Amino acid sequence: MSYIILEATRNVELVRDVSVRLGRDSPPAFIDMASELIIRGGGIPFLFNDDCFIPALTEHGIALQDARNYSPIGCIELTIPGRASPHAVSGEFCSTKCLELALFDGKEPRSGVQVGPHTGAFATFTTFEDFYSAYLRQVEFFARRMVYHCNRGELAQREGGPLPCLSILTDDCISRGRDITDGGAVYNYHSICFIGTATTADALAAVKKFVFEEKSLSAEELLDALQHNFANHAPLRQKLLKQAPKYGNDIPEVDTIAARVAGDFIKLMDQMSSPLNGRYFVHLFSFIWHLDFGKGVGATPDGRRAGDPLAYSLAAQQGAMSRGITALLSSISRLPHRHAAGATAAIVEIDPVLVSGANGKDLMSQLITTAIAMGVGQLQWNVVTAERLVKAQEDPERYGNIPVRVAGYSQMFKLVNKDLQDHIIARTKHRT
């Protein structure tokens, strides 16, 4: 049946979310068929790694037999069909904003308003761990408030929006005599999108290197540059951009920080619960909100300017990759996919020249097989040139009818808004 679905997708040229579950023992012929579709463009199908997500689900209370039957819904969110009330994307959490507030003792630097807790003046921190602890305190402060509002939403739906039809179709609502909104399902959990992983990691790595290790940058100079969006600080910005380690380049120093940032949030959410005693799972996934949240985050120590997009999901910050696609996959593999019960996500952009010719399908299949073996949880692929997308943007009537992977879904490029189009064009298209 899986082969038939992929064949039908190819034959009718559907632009829809088609997901494929893979593992270390997946048949090479099936991976080859998926590769053929991916090379055609449009980001279909997208891939889920059973070797990551089944353990992540069982770790979070899902019985093994049910975890083996998981299914993606929406974009990349995971559910147990017919047995769960998943509250997918119950909340969105921006890690990079918490980093910014830790730098400024909980104060929003552009407005001057104290929005977070006082966690200490940046200049008083003597070690990187001191600063990272301040960041974690900001994270916990806002995470608990987010969970409070998620729980209010659960209570409001339970009291004002029962779902009898869905309840009839969901185990064990009938046997328990309870609606799916009132604890009838076998599993009840919330899932939270964690946004800004790579941007936050790059910023922390720069602070660690220049402020605390080399001591080549003072706290005062860094904060002044960030507050003024690097105006009159061009050399410093170039130093932060080019001399600090960047996630996505197979550099363990910064990849480890990214894994720590994501892992610490997962551990924090493991402490939370809902009114129905449901757990909080984490999506390492940003959807399109990395653009919206980026507009609300000032300049960051990785050299990013105020208002620029944050990194998409677990992909690298746009423009930060310089070592090719295998280096990117290596960085992604170091993230805690086996603990993210809500799933993870990354879009990998490929120039068609990389997978063209007689050996193109074999190379694509090798990349997929390697990523699965390395422990990458989820992958989406765009095979397109930036030049082709620019033509589509400039003349949508003639060239805009090209499907692309946007952010957990595929869409015709001409139907995507200008901000997203610019972001997709700017994402690195790997040729090596």
| pLDDT tens per residue across span 262-305 | 999 999 999 999 998 899 999 999 988 999 999 999 999 999 99
- 3-state class (DSSP) for residue 388: helix
> Would the pTM count as exceeding 0.85?
yes
| pLDDT beyond 80 at 133 | yes
Query: At 19, which helix (H) or strand (E)?
Result: strand 19-22
pLDDT bucket at 181, cuts 50 / 70 / 90: very high
How many residues belong to the chain? 432
Q: What is the pLDDT of residues 321-369, one digit of tens each?
A: 889 999 999 999 999 999 999 999 998 988 999 898 889 999 999 999 9
The pLDDT value given to residue 43:
84
pLDDT surpasses 90 at 225: yes
pLDDT tens-digit series, residues 234-257:
999 999 999 999 999 999 999 999
Residues 91 and 190 sit within 8 Å (Cβ to Cβ) = yes
Q: Report DSSP letters for 110-134, one per residue.
A: TT--B-S-----GGG--SHHHHHHH
Q: How far apart are CA 314 and CA 330, in angstroms?
A: 12
Phi/psi at 126 (nearest 5 deg)? -100, -15
Cα separation values, 199 from 173, 241, 269, 304, Å: 42, 12, 21, 8
Helix axes 197-206, 252-270, angle to 10 degrees: 120
Q: Give the range among 20-34, 35-49, 243-257, 292-306 with minimum mean pLDDT.
A: 35-49
Q: What is the mean pLDDT of residues 70-93?
A: 93
Q: Rounded distance, CA 312 to CA 408, Å?
A: 10
What percent of the chain shows pLDDT beyond 70? Answer: 99
Give the residue-averaged pLDDT of 182-200: 96
pLDDT tier at 318, thresholds 50, 70, 90: confident
pLDDT-derived band of residue 3, with 50, 70 and 90 as boundaries? very high
Q: Output Rg (C-alpha) for the chain, integer angstroms.
A: 22
Per-residue pLDDT band at 424 (split at 50, 70, 90): confident
* Contact predicate 44/410, CB 8 Å: yes
